[in-house]
């Protein structure tokens, strides 16, 4: 089942935090008790912490001989890490399916069966596999059609044992994240063809995701694994900007604390429990120059560097994500000691390997032994046959839906911007959302450019024929399943909204429907760049009220468009993908519109 599932993301957090007992695992306490608000009700669940660690061995058949040095006997540990997989079970295509290798060459990379092969080759008996979030969400239809259960199952199959929660894990809301972790069939769409969902085999960690009601963690903050007789603690945090980049209704009742403050609290708790070797899994990172090789460390210091620099010195390794970049760095902790800081690209194209030794007497990492290495997941190796069959099975299950024709186009509809920042595909999506909300009085519509994830090309992608748009292709364009709604804004508010296209985080040009025109001038100061706003050809009256259609990500203030939140009760309509599908069905064939709705440069 596909239809209707996005609406489930619009729920209020109310079930206890992620507390499913997992196989041979030890997880962080959420204080002695977890209390989360659900209306006027308080759900209280005591979490008993099993401190006996004898059963926590992770895939270790026998302990290797200890190495002896100035720190005494030491035990080897290897971490293998993935980040920002985004449900890419099949090898991703286009630029998303290549990676820059150690020689500076761009090579085909990614795909679940190849990830599995490389993980097997890199793993030894000292290995723990972890991840840094956005494993699901913004996924291809193959995974998203079944609420990313196929991807979560794959990640369990290849041994992922813990992951930071990413912002995209909240795409369908906190309650859906609880279901993905703990199991159970989808409350709207029911069970997938694979049967009742058993839950993730790995622990989602989010030390900085707190209940607003109790100020306690709403997601397990940390977990412990035992390797070769030594304990390693894993802490997870997600970017504190999450509320600005996900649908607000899906995280209602949650607060996202500063990453460093939350990591430090978790590190202190691990230390109280006798854990001195620690890795921070953080869904935040930095940018790098284009074409950087996987093990280079030419980063533009940003949020990731701040976290890696300022987090508790007890933390030895910081594994990052979110920005889809690749780098391996050493960065000094608050005590001046170097610790490893790295990120492994995205979409399953890079696996990060971290090796170190742990002093058996003190339980701490011998920092001089830390070594990081990013491995490109090349496709010049045999794909893992078991995972290959697994992916093919899901392809067969989703094919009937994906291949269904829903419209036609006369030429490519792309995300290539005009000098003003307008795109043909963005315009068509805005027109579709306007059409979907006309019965609710919508006069104009705007679309956030980051929500348009793929081009629609005229050439056939399969057997459907040139110019035919399939459901799978439309889904690739709009994979988030947001809900379209209408907000009431004055002309003055509309002007202020359009001025919010420029923030300290950069530029995001809203894509307008055919009924909205405006001019921009980037040479003017931020806050005074938009002029000549018209609705249906008439100049905007600052005192008049206008009905503006947009998806609920924008209506909730996403991407910094906070003016939308000044209407506290927008009227909601269909899922954005359903609106897009209906528009294609009713208006085909669709030609690329002239890029003249935004003037200026």
**CATH topology for the 404-600 domain:** 5'-nucleotidase;  domain 2 (3.90.780)
Residue 566: its H or E element: none
**What is the β-pairing status of strands 545-551 and 483-490?**
antiparallel
Distance CA 283, CA 165 (A): 7
Give the chain's residues under pLDDT 70.
1-72
Domain span(s) for CATH 3.60.21.10 in the chain: 5-60+75-393
Taking each helix axis from N to C terminus, what angle separates 385-402 and 112-122, rounded to the nearest 10 degrees?
Answer: 160
What does DSSP assign to residue 136? S
pLDDT for res 18: 53
Q: What SS3 class is residue 399?
A: helix
Q: Which of 349, 286, 365, 284 is nearest to 322 (CA)?
A: 284
Give the per-residue pLDDT at 67.
62
Side by side, the strands of the sheet bearing 222-227 are: 26-27, 222-227, 230-238, 277-283, 317-320, 338-344, 326-332
d(CA 302, CA 285): 7
Domain ranges in the chain with CATH number 3.90.780.10: 404-600
Q: Which fold has domain 5-60+75-393?
A: Purple Acid Phosphatase; chain A, domain 2 (3.60.21)
CA 260 to CA 382: how far, in whole Å? Answer: 41
In the prediction, which pLDDT does 148 show? 96
> pLDDT value at position 68?
56
Joined together, the tokens standing for residue 165 give 């929660």
What angle, 0 to 180 degrees and rounded to 10, lies between the N-to-C axes of helices 424-436 and 576-587?
100
Cβ count near 412 (within 10 Å):
14
d(CA 92, CA 346): 10
- Residue 505's Cβ-count burial label (10 Å; 0-12, 13-18, 19+) is exposed
């Amino acid at each position: 089942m596909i239809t209707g599932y996005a609406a489930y993301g619009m729920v209020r957090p109310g079930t206890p935090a992620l507390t499913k007992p997992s196989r041979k695992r030890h997880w962080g306490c959420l204080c002695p008790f977890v209390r989360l608000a659900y209306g006027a009700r308080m759900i209280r669940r005591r979490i008993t912490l099993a401190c006996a660690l004898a059963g926590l061995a992770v895939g270790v058949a026998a302990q290797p001989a200890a190495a002896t040095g100035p720190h005494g006997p030491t035990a080897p540990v290897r971490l293998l890490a993935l980040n920002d997989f985004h449900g890419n079970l099949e090898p991703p295509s286009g630029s998303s399916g290549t990676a820059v290798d150690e020689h500076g060459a761009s090579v085909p990379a990614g795909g679940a069966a190849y990830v599995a092969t490389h993980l097997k080759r890199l793993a030894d008996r000292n290995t723990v596999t972890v991840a840094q979030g956005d494993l699901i969400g913004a996924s291809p239809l193959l995974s998203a059609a079944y609420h990313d259960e196929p991807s979560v199952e794959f990640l369990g199959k290849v041994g992922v044992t813990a992951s930071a929660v990413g912002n995209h894990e909240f795409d369908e809301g906190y309650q859906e994240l609880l279901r993905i972790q703990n199991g159970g069939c989808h409350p709207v769409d029911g069970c997938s063809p694979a049967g009742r969902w058993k839950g993730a085999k790995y622990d989602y960690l989010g030390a900085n995701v707190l209940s607003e009601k109790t100020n306690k963690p709403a997601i397990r903050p940390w977990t412990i694994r035992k390797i070769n007789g030594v304990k390693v603690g894993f802490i997870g945090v997600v970017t504190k900007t999450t509320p600005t980049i996900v649908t607000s209704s899906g995280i209602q009742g949650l607060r996202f604390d500063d990453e460093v403050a939350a990591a430090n609290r978790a590190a202190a708790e691990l230390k109280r429990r006798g854990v001195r070797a620690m890795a921070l899994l953080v869904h935040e990172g930095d940018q790098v120059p284009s074409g950087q090789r996987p093990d280079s460390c030419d980063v533009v210091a940003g949020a990731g560097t701040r976290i890696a620099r300022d987090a508790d010195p007890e933390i030895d390794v910081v594994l990052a994500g979110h920005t889809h970049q690749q780098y391996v760095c050493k960065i000094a902790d608050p005590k001046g000691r170097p610790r490893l800081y790295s990120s492994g690209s995205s979409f399953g194209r890079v696996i990060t390997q971290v090796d170190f030794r742990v002093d058996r007497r003190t339980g701490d990492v011998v920092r001089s032994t830390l070594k990081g290495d990013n491995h490109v997941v090349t496709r010049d190796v045999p794909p893992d046959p078991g995972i290959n069959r697994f992916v093919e099975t899901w392809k067969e299950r989703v094919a009937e839906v994906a291949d269904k024709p829903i419209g036609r186009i006369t030429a490519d509809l792309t995300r290539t911007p005009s000098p003003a920042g307008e795109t043909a595909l963005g315009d068509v999506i805005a027109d579709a959302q306007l059409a979907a909300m006309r019965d609710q009085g919508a006069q104009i519509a705007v679309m956030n450019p980051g929500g348009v994830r793929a081009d629609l090309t005229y050439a056939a992608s399969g057997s459907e024929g040139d110019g035919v748009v399939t459901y799978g292709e439309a889904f690739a364009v709009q994979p988030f399943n947001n809900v379209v709604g209408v907000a009431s804004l004055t002309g003055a508010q509309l002007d202020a909204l359009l001025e919010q296209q420029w923030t300290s985080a950069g530029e995001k040009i809203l894509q307008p429907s055919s009924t909205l025109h405006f001019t921009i001038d980037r040479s003017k100061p931020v806050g005074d760049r938009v002029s000549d706003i018209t609705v249906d050809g008439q100049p905007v009256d600052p005192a008049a009220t206008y009905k503006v259609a947009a998806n609920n990500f924008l209506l909730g203030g996403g991407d910094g468009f906070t003016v939308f939140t000044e209407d506290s009760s927008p009227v909601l309509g269909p899922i954005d993908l359903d609106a897009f599908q209906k528009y294609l069905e009713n208006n085909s064939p669709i030609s690329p519109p002239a890029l003249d709705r935004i003037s200026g440069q």
